[in-house]
Structure formats: C-alpha cells, structure tokens
Structure 1
Amino acid sequence: MTRPTTHRDRAKAERRASLVTAAARLFAAHGYAAVTIDQLGTAVGISGPAVYRHFPGKQMVLEELLVGVSTRLHEGGREVCAAGSPPSETLRALVEFHTRFALVETDVIRVQDRDLPSLNPLARDQVRTLQRAYVDDWVATLRALDPTLSDPLARLRVHAVFGLLNSTPHALRGSRADRAVAANELAAAAWAALTAAASPIGDAPRA
C-alpha cells in the first residue's frame, strides 16, 4: 500500500480513516442499514455529499472497515508466527494479540457479527479467506504445541476461543471491570481452553 507523501494526501488519508472509525461506532450503535451518509459526514465534521470525495458510497465504507480488520488480524497473526518462537510462546503471543484486539475493537466486532451479510459477495469472500488464513495459523501453532491434537479438534478449540474473546463487547457492556484485569482473565481462559487435556463430559467424575 502506497503511503501518502504530501500534506494534502496525508490529510485525505486521515479523513478517510476518521470516516471508517466513525462508521464503526455508528454501525455498531444503530446497524449498517440505519446509518445515512449524512450521519457519517456529520460524525467527522463534513457534509454528507463530501463523504463521496473519499468513498463511492456507504457500502465501500463497510467494506474498508471489515476487510481492513480481517487484513490486520491476518497480518498480525502472521507476524507473530514469523518470529520463530517456540510453539508455546507463539500461542501465548497469538492469545495476547487477539485479546488486545477484542478489548480495543469492540465496535468492529459488533459490526462484524451483525452486518457482514451486508457486504457485497466479493468483499465477503475476501473477509472469509482472510479469516480462514488467520485460523490456519492458530491451528498450526496449536498442533505444533500438541501433535496429538487432530486438525478438527484443534480448529474446534480455536473457534471456541474466538467465540470467548469476541464476546467481550457483550460481556463488558455496562461492566465496571478493569480492562487490564479483563485482559488477564480472558487470556488465561483462552489459554486454558486451547491447552486443556481432552476429557469427555460423559467421563467427568460425578459429584
């Protein structure tokens, strides 16, 4: 991606980024369908028609938001895995990376949960491809740590952890929990879910 070099280019890039941030907040609060171009413009101090200088329409704002976050997750996961640390350290780093994301990007998670179907099919496929690649990195790391895990079981655990961490926007809504404490608790729960010894419920000791 080409970096803006002139003051005008930087200002335009900053305005575009501010529109995406505002869109995340508005879409999370009201739903994609209910938000208008005028509301997007007002949120960043410009008119509705001025939004079209940066995006062809509201659909492209949603695309940049959701494809963008999937790209960041995928690239961040790849960076963690490329560090070449032992599997246990890599898995802990992945957990910490996603925990930070879940605590910071709460609006984006809400939009992803509710408004992904509003993306055009090509953008939706792009999001799904990036998400699968991100999952693959987690699965490969988990199986390197525990080679006895089958691929399906490793994927089940990874998806379960994503469900746990991505529920953060709902769990913390209206909560007074300290974010640092929440981060530690979530990371610990995620690690336990990923590395737990297999123990079918039916075999659990009865009280």
Structure 2
Amino acid sequence: MATRTDAPTRREQILKEAARLFAERGFHGVGVDEIGAAVGISGPGLYRHFPGKDAMLAELLVGISGQLLTGAKQRLKEVDGAAPEVVLDSLLEGHIDFALDDRPLITLHDRELDRLRDSDRKLVRQLQRQYVELWVGVVRALYPDLAEPAARSAVHSVFGLLNSTPHLARPGSLPGSLPGRATTAALLHRMARGAFAAAGSD
C-alpha cells in the first residue's frame, strides 16, 4: 500500500515495476529481462532478489492482502472507542488509498490469482476473509439491525465498487477525465457510505 514516505528498497522497486508490467501485459507477456530493465538492472540480476516471476507474483498478491489486513487492524486501534461512523470512515479511507494508489495489484488479483501455488492462494484467501470480517463487525456496529450475511454481502459489494478503479482513467491524466485524486477519493467515500446506508435501511 502506498503509505510509506521513505525511499523504496531495490526489492520494492522490482515488485512495483513487476506489478505494473504484469497488469499491462499479463503475467506470461512479461520477461525477466523487461522487469530488470524497468529498474535498471540486468534480468539475471533479479535472481539475487527473487527466484523467478512466480515468486514475484506470490509476494505481490500475498503481500497486499497482508498489508490491507494489518493496515485495517492499525486503524481500528487508532480509533478505538470512537463512534461507529468514525471507525467505518477510517477503514474506507484506507481502502480508498489502496484502490487509487495500487491499481495494478487489483488487476493482478483479478487476472492472475489462479496462477499462485495452492498454498499461496489459500493464504491470500485466508487474509482476505479476515479483512472482510473486520469490516463486517464495524458495519454491524453502525447498523445493528443488519444481519451478518447481509452485512458481509454489503462489504463485498462496496469492495467491488472501490476496486473498480483500474477501469477508470487516472485522476487528472487527460482533459475531461476524472478530477483530482482528493476529489475522486471523496466521491468514492460518499458512494461507499451511501451503499452501506442503503443496506442498513432495508
């Protein structure tokens, strides 16, 4: 997730460029040499950091699932005792940051998850289930009349809304495209809150 301010390590640079290239061309459409060129090292030099493309893909998809879960837990600690609306807003802000700043990872998850080893894919799913359950608890605290299955469906639906960002033009990138990042984030936030409110009013 794009929250750190210190300079990325070479390993992180490799993963970032690998994610971008995999998302643009597909996993099998990118060679090790191309990833190396994107970060200014020879293709064989990548093997000092990763044993191959499969390892890069696994670290990207397992890594972002773990980061989302860890980030959500941290946010819950920071707003512990706050009103449910504040807690939900904090979770939304974190996921919106991910959706706007890490779009290639959303594309990778949608297209390439099945390429992971069974153990890595199961770990991704486990981390994602834990992430969803954190949200379900927060949503039900705000809308106590919402049954657990309905709350879970609402959370998945909102994730679908927020994770649609790879299909949007990058904010401010073209004349007539989406507005700036802050405006886009606020729009996504309002839409997500509206979706939860609609679910909670049934």
Report the TM-score when normalising by structure 2.
Answer: 0.88
Q: Which whole-Å CA distance do the structure 2 matches of 1:128 and 1:39 have between them? A: 30
Are 2:102 and 1:105 equivalent residues in the alignment? yes
- The equivalent of 1:114 in structure 2 is 111
Partner SS state of residue 133, structure 2: helix
Partner SS state of residue 148, structure 1: coil
Shift of residue 144 of structure 1? 1.1
* Structural RMSD (CA): 1.6
Choose which of 192, 195, 198 in structure 1 pairs with 2:197.
195
Report the TM-score when normalising by structure 1.
Answer: 0.86
Partner SS state of residue 9, structure 2: helix
Choose which of 31, 38, 52 in structure 2 pairs with 1:36.
31
For residues 75-154 of structure 1, the aligned pairs below 5 Å read 75-83=70-78, 84=80, 85-154=82-151
- The equivalent of 1:165 in structure 2 is 162
Shift of residue 14 of structure 1? 1.3
Partner SS state of residue 48, structure 2: coil
Partner SS state of residue 149, structure 1: coil
Q: Which whole-Å CA distance do the structure 1 matches of 2:197 and 2:155 have between them? A: 10
Give the paired residue count.
188
Render the CA deviation track for 1:42-96: whole Å, top value 9, x for unaligned.
1111111111111111100011111111111000111112231222110011111
| Identity within the alignment, % | 47
Contiguous gaps of at least 5 residues in structure 2: 1-6
Choose which of 16, 19, 22 in structure 1 pairs with 2:17.
22
Contiguous gaps of at least 5 residues in structure 1: 1-10, 200-207
User: For residue 57 of structure 1, what is the amino acid of its counterpart?
Assistant: G
